[in-house]
């Protein structure tokens, strides 16, 4: 029954799209995201660079999460369809319903940049049928991750993971990196001072530990063990939760523990002395900076079973700094850190020239617009 309803939905949208496609194509790049209802960092940086390189190109960003009012999101899909139909290039950072289920004009270029620099954990087609992923009927009926012309990534190892997760051959990969690499390596001026002004409790002489756990669907993140084992005489613990997890927690009155939602994780890297994460691609992103990175994988066996990992953390150089017990993690923080292991890890998963990633991606897309012709997509 589910498959029948989805097929009716697809036929209905494609019928509407036949008329929407009558509108003329413009020199336009449309960026679509359902990761949040505000423009993602990568999109904002990319849009600004495209406009700098070519003022004649119209850049549109449409961002809206799939949660909430269904009718509202249905109208949003129609809006997406209108902009897709009138664009020469579409950029997505997640699965996008109209991109994958509709029959588009010939010559349209679709670039999938994903919302992560790597793929430590499995996702997309890799998790179909698993507890953390879509069911097989829905994935196939909704054409999960279909209609991409190119997939951006930052290294050969990650390219293999992306090909499997999206279901594409290696020829679709373009090693462009992500704009966020520029943001991490060249942060906003005085951002550290700005954050400390808003959160004076972390502006003391103590070192700041930044904890950024990955999203665990429907489970939240237990914090008691970590808080219990951190020495707050020496450290502040800054906690940056996934937006969906952040709703489950209230501010704490424990001295030295600070929840921050106001700034993105990349801004927070500028005030962090030590970084803790787990299966998140943030681990790879944080490795770009010479700061100690630790993995706190308290639910390792369960997570591997329910979601799965693309890499064997025990065999990775950074695996020396993976801990399932908060006490062992706290003890490791007190010891000297081997930065060579972090650098080895970084080089394995980011094997591109990390300078000017935003400019390179913008130039790539502008080239597609300038070479746009019916039926050509090279």
d(CA 59, CA 295) in angstroms, rounded, equals 38
Q: Do residues 30 and 167 share a domain?
A: yes
Nearest alpha carbon to residue 303 among 320, 322, 316, 317: 322
What integer pLDDT is reported at residue 1 of this predicted model?
80
- Are 296 and 276 in contact by the 8 Å Cβ rule? The answer is yes
The range of the structural domain enclosing residue 137 comes to 2-177+355-370
Please report whether residue 376 resides in a domain: no
Residue 124 CB contacts under 8 Å (≥ 6 apart), including other chains? 95, 133, 144, 145, 165, 166, 167
In this prediction, residue 248 carries a pLDDT of 60
pLDDT value at residue 100? 97
Cα 167 to Cα 163: distance, rounded to the nearest angstrom: 5
Cβ 284 vs Cβ 120: under 8 Å: yes
Counting the structural domains of the chain, the total is 2
Within this chain, do residues 169 and 210 fall inside the same structural domain, yes or no?
no
CA distances from 117 to 155, 161, 245, 311 (A): 9, 11, 21, 14
What does the pLDDT read at residue 118? 95
82 shares its domain with 128: yes
Does residue 377 form part of some domain?
no
Are 88 and 69 in contact by the 8 Å Cβ rule? The answer is no
Q: Which distant-in-sequence residues (6+ apart) come within 8 Å of 101 by Cβ?
A: 10, 13, 14, 142, 143, 146
149 and 168 Cβ atoms separated by less than 8 Å: no
Whether residues 14 and 149 share a domain: the answer is: yes
| Ranges of the chain whose pLDDT falls below 50 | 374-378
Phi, psi of 235 (to 5 degrees): -130, 150
Residue 75 and residue 61 in one domain: yes
DSSP symbol at 121 = B
The pLDDT of residue 378 is 43
pTM, full prediction: 0.94
Residue 182 lies in a domain: no
Helix (H, G, I), strand (E, B) or coil at 284: helix
What pLDDT sits at residue 130? 87
Q: Do 170 and 196 sit in the same domain of this protein?
A: no
pLDDT tens track for 290-308 = 999 999 999 999 999 999 9
In 310-364 the beta strands, taken as DSSP E runs, fall at 322-323
Q: CA-CA distance, 92 to 90, in Å (whole number)?
A: 7
């Amino acid at each position: 029954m589910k498959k029948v309803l989805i097929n009716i939905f697809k036929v209905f949208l494609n019928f509407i799209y036949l008329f929407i496609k009558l509108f003329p194509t413009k020199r336009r790049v449309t960026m679509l995201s359902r990761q949040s209802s505000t423009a993602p960092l990568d999109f904002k940086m990319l849009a600004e660079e495209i406009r700098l390189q070519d003022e004649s190109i119209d850049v549109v960003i449409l961002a809206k999460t799939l949660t909430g009012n269904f009718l509202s999101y249905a109208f949003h899909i129609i809006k997406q369809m209108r902009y897709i139909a009138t664009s020469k290039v579409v950029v997505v950072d997640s699965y996008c319903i109209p991109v994958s289920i509709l029959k588009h004009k010939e010559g349209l270029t679709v670039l999938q940049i994903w919302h992560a620099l790597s793929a430590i954990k499995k996702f997309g087609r890799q998790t179909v049928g698993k507890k953390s992923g879509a069911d097989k009927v829905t994935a196939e009926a909704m054409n999960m991750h279909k209609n991409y012309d190119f997939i951006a990534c930052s290294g050969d190892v990650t390219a293999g993971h992306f090909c499997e997760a999206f279901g594409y051959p290696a020829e679709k990969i373009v090693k462009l990196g992500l704009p966020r690499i520029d943001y991490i390596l060249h942060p906003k001026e005085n951002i550290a001072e700005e954050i400390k002004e808003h959160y004076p409790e972390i502006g003391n002489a103590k070192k700041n530990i930044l904890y950024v756990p990955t999203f665990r669907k429907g489970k939240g993140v237990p914090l008691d063990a970590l808080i219990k084992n951190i020495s707050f005489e020496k450290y502040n613990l800054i906690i940056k939760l996934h937006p969906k997890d952040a709703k489950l927690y209230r501010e704490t009155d424990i001295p030295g523990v600070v929840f921050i939602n106001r700034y993105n994780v990349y801004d927070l890297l500028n005030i962090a002395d030590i970084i803790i994460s787990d299966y998140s691609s943030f681990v790879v992103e944080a490795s770009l900076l010479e700061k100690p990175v630790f993995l706190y994988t308290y639910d390792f066996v369960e997570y591997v079973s329910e979601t799965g990992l693309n890499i064997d953390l025990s065999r990775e150089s950074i695996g020396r700094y993976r801990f399932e017990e908060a006490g062992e993690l706290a003890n490791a923080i007190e010891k000297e850190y081997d930065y060579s292991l972090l650098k080895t890890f970084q080089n394995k998963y980011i094997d591109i020239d990390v300078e000017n990633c935003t400019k390179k991606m913008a130039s790539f897309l502008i080239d597609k617009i300038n070479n746009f012709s019916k039926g050509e997509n090279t």
